[in-house]
């Protein structure tokens, strides 16, 4: 009887441990508020790769991965294992220089790179995945670049790349401001970033991302402060602008261009003020909606370039925080 009780207690204890582990694993929460790419990173963290709107051979993903490793090495060296490895930088050591007829330099190309230590370290398995990604990207990046440049909007494409790069740099730094270096959520993000990079199966969480859930539910009906919403969306976008500076609170001339069958807007256009090289100037912005939620931002200077609205702001709007 005593042996039976011991065995029963062991089984119950084991079930409790398994249950506790599963519950803890499912209760992991990555903090993403304020990130430009909050939805993308939350879906990678949860292992919901089917909801990730980029591919492993996109240059944007490589920037996410490489900048995350570098920023982690800068900020969290004490949290790295003893088996950490040095991140190496590609440095040009031979240039091909072109001159015009007057002897002035007009262009230069790097024709040979060498590897030099960056001074920052990374987890060995994560860095090895980056090296694999570099090889894979090298094969596919030129095709991606040519495809995008052939859209007939080459200047807009270049500007958009600058904005995206600044946003990704910000995200990979800020994510370590709002999550601790040794948090279980950061570890889970790393595991699934690696899985995505190597085209492997992720660790999947049962609970869907709040960003996915809000898209299914759709946006709110009724009266809302669209002036404040657009002001917040444009202000958020302006953090990646290279030269112009948005004047907060300058939204005017708001016009709801169209509505869906529930009375929710499908497109809104408004004017705003910004400081540029010529002083104070006026521009316009157009916000498009899908299922009642902002899904695209278009500015007057590059009207064919769609910007992705902040997932954090869209989530706040979905929760009714802009209601009148």
Classify each residue of 52-85 as buried b or exposed e, where b means 16 or more C-beta atoms within 10 Å of its C-beta: beeebbebbbbbbbbbbbbbbbeeeeeebeeebe
49 φ/ψ angles, rounded to the nearest 5 degrees: -65, -25
Q: What is the pLDDT of residue 1?
A: 52
Q: What is the pLDDT of residue 15?
A: 43
pTM of the predicted structure, to 2 decimals = 0.77
- Pull the structure tokens for residue 147: 């495809």
For helices 59-75 and 154-178, the axis angle rounded to 10 degrees is 30
SS3 256: strand
Q: How far apart are CA 63 and CA 206, in angstroms?
A: 28
Query: Which residues of the chain fall short of a pLDDT of 50?
Result: 2, 4, 8, 10-25, 139-140, 142-157
Rounded to 10 degrees, the C-alpha dihedral 227/228/232/235 comes to 60
Q: CB count, 10 Å around CB of 304?
A: 11
Q: How far apart are CA 159 and CA 59, in angstroms?
A: 15
CA proximity to 207, closest of 61, 59, 46: 46
Q: Are 69 and 122 in contact (CB under 8 A)?
A: yes
- Pull the structure tokens for residue 16: 């409790």
- Pull the structure tokens for residue 55: 């591919």
Measuring CA to CA, how many Å separate 168 from each of 189, 240, 246? 16, 10, 20
* Domains of the chain, residue spans: 31-212, 218-318
The DSSP 8-state label assigned to residue 162 in this structure reads H
SS3 255: strand
The DSSP 8-state label assigned to residue 54 in this structure reads S
Residue 281 has, within 13 A of its CA and on its CB side, a CA count of: 13
Measuring CA to CA, how many Å separate 145 from each of 57, 140, 142, 148? 12, 9, 5, 5
Q: What is the pLDDT of residue 20?
A: 36
Q: How far apart are CA 54 and CA 263, in angstroms?
A: 32
Q: What is the pLDDT of residue 158?
A: 57
Q: Are 131 and 124 in contact (CB under 8 A)?
A: no
Q: Are 47 and 56 in contact (CB under 8 A)?
A: no
Helices (H) and strands (E) in the chain, counts: 9, 8
The string of pLDDT tens digits covering residues 52-88 is: 989 988 888 988 999 999 999 999 999 999 999 999 9
Residue 290's H or E segment, with its range, is strand 279-290
Q: Own/partner pairs for 55-61, CB < 8 Å, 24+ apart?
A: 56/133, 56/136, 56/196, 56/197, 56/199, 57/136, 57/137, 57/140, 57/141, 57/144, 58/144, 59/137, 59/141, 59/144, 59/145, 60/164, 60/168, 61/133, 61/196, 61/197
Q: What is the pLDDT of residue 129?
A: 96
């Amino acid at each position: 009887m005593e042996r039976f009780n011991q065995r029963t207690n062991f089984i119950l204890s084991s079930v409790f441990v398994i249950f506790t582990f599963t519950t803890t694993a499912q209760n992991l929460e990555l903090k993403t508020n304020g990130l430009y790419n909050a939805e993308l990173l939350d879906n990678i963290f949860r292992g919901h790769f089917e909801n990730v709107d980029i591919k492993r051979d996109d240059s944007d993903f490589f920037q996410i991965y490489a900048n995350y490793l570098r920023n982690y090495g800068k900020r969290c060296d004490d949290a790295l294992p003893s088996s950490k490895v040095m991140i190496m930088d590609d440095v040009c050591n031979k240039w091909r220089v072109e001159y015009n007829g007057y002897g002035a330099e007009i262009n230069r190309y790097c024709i040979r790179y060498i590897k030099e230590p960056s001074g920052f370290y990374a987890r060995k398995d994560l860095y090895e995945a980056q090296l694999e990604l570099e090889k894979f990207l090298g094969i596919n990046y030129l095709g991606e670049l040519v495809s995008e440049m052939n859209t007939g909007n080459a200047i807009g494409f270049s500007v958009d790349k600058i904005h995206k790069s600044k946003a990704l740099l910000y995200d990979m730094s800020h994510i370590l401001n709002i999550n601790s270096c040794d948090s279980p959520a950061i570890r889970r993000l790393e595991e699934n970033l690696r899985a995505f990079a190597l085209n492997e199966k992720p660790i999947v969480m049962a609970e869907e991302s709040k960003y996915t859930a809000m898209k299914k539910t759709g946006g709110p009906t009724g009266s809302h402060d669209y002036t404040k919403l657009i002001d917040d969306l444009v202000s958020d976008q302006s953090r990646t602008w290279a030269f112009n500076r948005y004047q907060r609170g300058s939204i005017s001339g708001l016009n709801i261009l169209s509505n869906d069958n529930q009375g929710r807007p499908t497109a809104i256009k408004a004017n705003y003020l910004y400081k540029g090289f010529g002083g104070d100037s006026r521009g316009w912005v157009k916000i498009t909606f899908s299922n009642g939620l902002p899904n695209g931002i278009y500015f007057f200077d590059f009207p064919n370039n769609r910007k992705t609205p902040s997932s954090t702001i869209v989530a706040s709007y979905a929760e009714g925080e802009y209601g009148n």
